[in-house]
Amino acid sequence: MADDLLKDIFARLIRATGPISVAHFMAESNARYYGTRDPLGACGDFITAPEVSQMFGEMIGLWLADLWIRAGRPGPIAYVEAGPGRGTLAQDALRAAARQGLVPDVHFVETSPALRALQRQRFPGATWHDDFATVPADRPLLVVGNEFLDALPVRQIVRMAEGWRERMIGWDAQGQRLLPVAGDRPMDAAVPPDRAGAPEGTIIETCPAAAAVTAEVAARLAAQGGAALWIDYGHAEPHDGSTLQAVRAHRKVDPFADPGEADLTALVDFAALVPVVAAAGARCDGIASQGDFLRCLGIEARAAGLARTAPNHAPALARALDRLTGAEEMGNLFKVMAFSAAHWPVPAAL
Ligand code: SAH
């Protein structure tokens, strides 16, 4: 019942069967959120790197083309983007790649009907997939995902006096507000041995969905050739605590207040994905900050070149460059992680 507020649906469910897990809450909230709107841009809830400047997608297109050329220009080959939003990154990346001779067929892994419709305007010839299972199996893959993993549901376990419990979402005593509560089933077996003695109140967050999709992509690369690039806000080292947050109209809001009406994200734990890639038989090429990655690929020269061609855009280009690479902006908080087929050349800039 798409007209019902998700909060009311959760209310009925929780009253009938008890609290739901954080992962269930996040998955349903984001399915509703992305399924019903275009959240991107100045008038939406948040802005992503490809929407800041064409330079972002162009650098990724050149990264892909360089790797493809060094791999011996194999063809046919597929560009597969996970969660492509408005299709802006694909448009900029594939324009830059085409200048180097790389013209792959285009596949989008996207669950939102609203965003699929926007993507179709820009890529009428693309093929859409609900998940990676149906992506072509007979050719190398060039996989890209920007702010895709951070939207996938996280699971949280919390240390209580009596042991570890799943963190759940229930109602407050007045039945007015959704809020986190501890589940009643023991979860001690799910805690890594070195964290077992953590103090009461400690929260351990994991993203089984990010690990699963990374394992699936890595296994495909190992079998078919190609490379993948995940770009997201996250950390390269393990951490404790909840990183769940909600953004609406460019402001942080209470993640539990209006489920389905705000973008729910969690920081990506890139370190946790490294062993997943190796176990699936692919090579992890490294994790870099977005700022270092883009500078290494020549974004500063690209900004200077664009400013020479259009001097009246120079101030806007300088602002966009700072936004994408500045240490206080997206440059440090955002990370890139690349992994590839071991029989492929090592990608640049990591
Ligand atoms: N990459 C775009 C959009 C980021 S927003 C950009 O950088 O601008 C997150 C995107 O992931 C949206 O397109 C959303 O619909 C999609 N998405 C979220 N959860 C998904 C899932 N489980 N499977 C496929 N796509 C998903």
Residue 3: which pLDDT band, with cuts at 50, 70 and 90? Answer: low
Is residue 229 pLDDT above 70, yes or no?
A: yes
Q: Is the pLDDT of residue 175 over 90?
A: no
Query: Could you tell me how many helices (H) and strands (E) the chain has, helices first?
Result: 12, 16
What average pLDDT score do residues 205-232 get?
98
pLDDT in tens, 186-198: 999 989 898 999 9
Asked if 303 contacts 297 with a C-beta cutoff of 8 angstroms, the reply is no
| 168, 181 contact by CB (below 8 A) | yes
pLDDT digits (tens, 9 = 90+) for 58-116: 999 999 999 999 999 999 999 999 999 999 999 999 999 999 999 999 999 999 999 99
Most confident of the ranges 5-19, 37-51, 123-137:
123-137
Report which protein residue has its CA nearest ligand 1's atom 26: 83
Query: Where would I find the H helices in the chain?
Result: 6-17, 22-35, 49-52, 54-70, 88-99, 113-122, 208-224, 270-279, 290-296, 299-309, 314-325, 330-333
Whether pLDDT at 247 is above 90: yes
Per-residue pLDDT at 108: 98
- The residue nearest atom 17 of ligand 1, judged by CA position, is 83
Q: Is 48 in the pocket of ligand 1 (CB under 6 A)?
A: yes
For the chain, give the mean pLDDT: 96
**Cis bond upstream, residue 76 (ω within 30):** yes
Q: Which of 29, 59, 111 to mutate to test the pocket of ligand 1 (most atoms within 8 A of CB)?
A: 111
Say if residue 238's pLDDT is above 80: no
95 C-alpha to ligand 1 centroid (Å): 21
Count of residues for the chain? 350
pLDDT in tens, 281-319: 999 999 999 999 999 999 999 999 999 999 999 999 999
Output the pLDDT for position 228.
99
- What pLDDT sits at residue 41? 78
42 vs 177 pLDDT, higher one: 177
Asked if residue 109 has its Cβ within 6 Å of ligand 1, the reply is yes
Q: What's the 174 CA to ligand 1 centre distance in angstroms?
A: 35
